[in-house]
Amino acid sequence: MAFGHASSQASGDHQALHGSPQPSSSLYAPAQHTYNHPQASGETFQALNHDHSHAHAHDHAHHDHGHSAHQDHSHAHDHDQHDHHSHHDHHGHGHDHHDHAHDHSHAHDHHGHHGHDHHGHDHHGHSHDHHGHSHDHHDFPPVYIPPLPTWSEIFATLSPAQKTIFTWFSIHFFIGICVYCAGAANESLAMLGFAYLVFFDALGVLNGFVSNVIRTQPAFVAANTKRPFGAHRLEIIVAMANTVYLLFATMQTTKESLEHFLLEGHHGGGEEHTEAGLGLLSYVVLVLAIGTCFFASVTLRNHENFVRFLRRTPPTVQGFSYHVLNGTRGNPLHVILSNVYSLCIVGSGLVVCLFNFFGLITPTIDKCLALGEAVLMFYLGYPTAKALANLLLQTSPNTVRHSVDHRLAEIRQNPSILRIERVHFWQNTYGRCVGTLEVYIRPDADEQAILQFVYQKLEGLTSVSESYDEKGQQRSELTVSIIKS
């Protein structure tokens, strides 16, 4: 039977979704679907699966609910048992066609012309709406952070001085291996302990190489969102690994010495190893190792970072005192005396060599010398590891902490300053102190004057970057936030 789509719900809902109603020039207004058809109720699907006597199925995919070629048509749809109103009202689509009085005068002879498959609805309008919505949210690309150079790139751009340092590290480490082999061949714990110290000295050369590369490579110095202060802390991590190794060597040497003492007592004295001392090759290796450590300290300024870093700490660190002698830099003897690390390493090698050369070495003395070397390793390693750990934890240096309290007390005496909060002074790397604080001032105070006043009081606490060269790549930082309240 023929019927008209007189949709009583040319509703405001549809107008709200799609703006003003479409003109009646088209049979159906282009429907912007906002619901998914497969969620229709069972009754709706029964209405959709109607039987067309003319074997047509009103394909909505062909005309998208908008037979644009028909104006005020009075369709005489010959649909047998076809409730077309229920077809267009399912899911409450609200596309009831804007009060189109669909009296379609021309009779649609749907002989296979339309395939009324419900799932053939054109949902492009709906999907486009989603795309238009997503376009309103702009996704900005992430900030590009240049990666750090690879090992191959680093070694390809080394300066001649840096190549010399790395070559010396390789030679130094190889000599340490020779000392270790000589000590194992002669069953000398004192030589094994000295070998551990030579390894530590060689790793100190490597620390200097890493620090030099970090300061000269722009990629390590550059600050970005990922590394606000650059990659300077990598050298602290390498140095921390070196001191952890020294503590491990301390435990290893102590364990071996105590085990040999116990075995010696169990076997009743055990003076069976009092025969000949070291061979000529062992002496050559010892002298070569001593000379290598001495040369590294004088020419390469080995452990220079440790010396300057610990010089700015209190004279006593956990009960261990460092007496650093400030001698003339041009005098090799004064250079050794001013470097507690090189002094201990070279002195330990000289003691082992002289005791063996004059025939004073015995199994008991050998074990005592090894224990002495273990104590020396702990003396060098523990305070250094503790100071480096505090640096990695961004704690305030002890020498700066007391001065900061005194300077802040002076700043608070300014009548324009109300209070000071978020005070944090910490070290980023060797000799580089970073300070941040917030200063709350009166509303009528002069910001620039207060800022200059605070800088004058605190700037000296962060200007301690004496560890690095004159290029100025390691600069102290003081950040002061002025807040009116």
What are the tens digits of pLDDT across the range 109-146?
Answer: 443 443 444 444 444 444 444 444 444 455 667 777 77
* Tokens at 142, concatenated: 């992430």
Whole-number pLDDT of residue 348: 96
Task: Provide the whole-model pTM.
Answer: 0.63
DSSP state of 202: H
Q: Give the residues across from 426 on adjacent strands.
A: 434
Confidence of residue 72 (pLDDT cuts 50, 70, 90): very low
Tell me which residue of 291, 284, 339, 286 sits closest to 168, measured CA to CA.
Answer: 291
| Cα(48)–Cα(40) distance, integer angstroms | 10
* Confidence (pLDDT) at 310: 78
Give me the pLDDT at residue 43, please: 39
Tokens found for residue 371 = 């224990």
Give the chain's length: 485
The pLDDT assigned to 35 comes to 39
Task: Report pLDDT for 131.
Answer: 43
- CA pair distance 4, 371, nearest whole angstrom: 108
Rounded to whole angstroms, the Cα distance separating 93 from 326 reads 89
Alpha helix (H) residue ranges in 278-326: 280-299, 304-311
Pair 350, 290: CB distance under 8 Å: yes
Whether 154 has a pLDDT exceeding 70, the answer reads yes
Which has more pLDDT, 9 or 252? Answer: 252
d(CA 374, CA 247): 9
91 token code pair: 């899911």
Distances (CA, A) of 229 to 178, 401, 458, 477: 40, 21, 20, 10
Q: Are strands 477-484 and 5-6 parallel, antiparallel or unpaired?
A: unpaired
Residue 189 has a pLDDT of: 94
Spatial separation of the C-alpha atoms in residues 236 and 242, rounded to whole Å:
10
Which of 134-138's residues contact partners 24+ apart within 8 Å by CB, and which partners? none
Asked if residue 292 lies in contact with residue 172, where contact means CB atoms within 8 angstroms, the answer is yes
In angstroms, rounded to a whole number, what is the distance separating the alpha carbons of residues 41 and 90? Answer: 8
- Under 8 Å between Cβ of 194 and 373: yes
For the residues 419-433, what does the mean pLDDT come to? 83
Q: How far apart are CA 404 and CA 399, in angstroms?
A: 9
Domains of the chain: 151-262+275-315+329-393 (1.20.1510), 398-484 (3.30.70.1350)
Positive or negative torsion for Cα 354, 355, 357, 363: negative
Average pLDDT score, the chain: 71
* Residue 170, pLDDT above cutoff 90: yes
**How far apart are the C-alpha atoms of 202 and 292, rounded to whole Å?**
9
Return d(Cα 484, Cα 438) in angstroms, integer.
10
What angle (nearest 5°) sits at the alpha carbon of residue 407, between those of residues 405 and 411?
115
DSSP 8-state secondary structure symbol assigned to residue 90: G
Say if CB 385 and CB 244 are below 8 A apart: yes
Out of 13-22, 349-358, 401-410, least confident range = 13-22
pLDDT higher than 50, residue 328? no
Res 283 pLDDT > 60: yes
55 confidence band (pLDDT: 50, 70, 90): very low
pLDDT given at position 380: 94
What was the pLDDT predicted at 71? 37
Higher pLDDT, 137 or 22: 137
Query: What per-residue confidence (pLDDT) applies to 296?
Result: 94
CB atoms < 10 A from the CB of 122, how many?
Answer: 18
Residue with tokens 């699966």: 49
> Is residue 7 scored above 70 in pLDDT?
no
Q: What 8-state DSSP symbol labels residue 24? A: T
